[in-house]
Amino acid sequence: MAAILRKELYDCFNSVRFFVLFLLVLVASGFGIYAAHQGIRAALAESGAVTEGGFVFLVLFTSSFHDYSILTLAICIIVPITGIVLGFDAINSERTGGTLSRLLAQPVYRDSVINGKFLAGIVALTIMVGTTLLLVAGYGLRMIGVPPTAEEIIRLFIYGVVTVVYGAFWMALAMLFSVIFRRAAGSMLVPLVIFLVVYFFWVFLGLGEDVAKAIAPITSGTDVATQLQQAGLQQNILRLSPSYLFQEAYIALLIPMWKGLGAILYSDLAYMLPNPISLGQSLLTIWPHLASLVSLSVICFGISYVTFMRQEIRAT
């Protein structure tokens, strides 16, 4: 499998595709830094980081510009697209190119082919996400002159891991379609459409919220317990989208002040302390999210694995 992994990585780093994606990453990080440059003062004042929380460095990654947090938004879009681009023709290009039967006639297990490709994709994703985070962190450090605390470094690292897992989910999905469809056009289009629906419509345009409100309406006049229950249901409906899960996870990681993964009563609000929650608590909050994202990737990969193992090899 090492040979396949090596070859896939070689292909990956020599392809025009990867070069274009890398340019995209550079543009996104550059723009993110610019946004931070423009908005960090306002963001710091608003978040109270300077006076209370002390998470100055993390604000670099979340400070907004024209009402959008550019960097996180870019990552929400670029990472899934990178995943799809890395996986959509993994198997069917080998099939149409006539290399699959030649490859499988070599003394390698059939699963090493798909495992090698998946692993190579994860390595590529890790490199891209790592580069983006390091670029912003490095330039940001120069810009604001406030070094990150140990906790901030850990939070950023976990954020990187979650992002790679999220990208791996999209790659596994695209690979699944590359096993099912014989044409690369189909296996690229279907995951892209899924991405449009679960991110752009469901999360970004707020379709998910409307659907959730229609299914579980919160009517005034009912008792508090029912209202809370409905609110919980609404949130769970929203969480059907992996993009929403990812969004919740990164907010919990990067904005320690934020403590609202769920409905909070006005009466309780008075008791809330205006302090950031600890790293352990943030991790506990996003643990189910991480588990769901990992299991989604595993399910997609599992289905493509089984399908590929049973598939006929002949080119026709």
Partner 1 sequence: MSEKLAIETRDLTKTYDGVTVVDCLNLHVRENEVFGLLGPNGAGKTTTILMLLGLTEPASGMARVYDFNPIKEPLKVKRIVGYLPEAVGFYDNLTARENLKFIAELNNIDPAEAAQRIDETLEMVGLTDERDMVTNKFSRGMKQRLGIADVLIKKPKLVILDEPTSGLDPAGINQLLDIIANMPTMGTTVLLSSHQLYQVQRVCHSVGILSKGKMVIEGPIAELGREALSGGRYTIEVETAEPNAELVDILKKMEGVDKVEASGNILRVSTGSDLRSEIARAVVNSNASLIQIKVHEFSLDDIYMQYFKEE
Q: Which of 19, 27, 46, 101 binds partner 1 (CB under 8 A)?
A: 101
Q: Least Å distance between CB 112 and partner 1?
A: 9
Q: Does 107 bind partner 1 (CB under 8 A)?
A: yes
**Cα separations in angstroms, 53 against 2, 14, 218, 284:** 46, 44, 34, 19
Distance CA 56, CA 257 (A): 12
Sign of the CA dihedral 209, 215, 216, 220? positive
Q: Does 309 bind partner 1 (CB under 8 A)?
A: no
- Reduced 3-state DSSP string for 161-217: HHHHHHHHHHHHHHHHHHHHCCCHHHHHHHHHHHHHHHHHHHHHCCHHHHHHHHHCC
- Among the listed ranges 9-17, 174-182, 211-219, 242-250, the one in contact with partner 1 (CB under 8 A) is 9-17
Q: Does 106 bind partner 1 (CB under 8 A)?
A: yes
Q: How many CB atoms lie within 10 A of CB 217?
A: 10
Helix axes 16-47, 70-87, angle to 10 degrees: 160
Query: Which residue type occupies 278?
Result: S
- Among the listed ranges 60-68, 130-138, 227-235, 306-314, the one in contact with partner 1 (CB under 8 A) is 306-314
Q: Does 14 bind partner 1 (CB under 8 A)?
A: yes
Alpha-carbon 257 to chain mean position: 21
Q: Which of 66, 105, 223, 225 binds partner 1 (CB under 8 A)?
A: 105
Q: Does 182 bind partner 1 (CB under 8 A)?
A: no
Q: Which of 23, 27, 51, 102 binds partner 1 (CB under 8 A)?
A: 102
Q: Which of 3, 26, 193, 306 binds partner 1 (CB under 8 A)?
A: 3
Q: Does 109 bind partner 1 (CB under 8 A)?
A: yes
Q: Does 143 bind partner 1 (CB under 8 A)?
A: no
Residues forming the site for partner 1 (CB under 8 A): 3-4, 6-7, 11, 14-15, 97-99, 101-109, 312-315
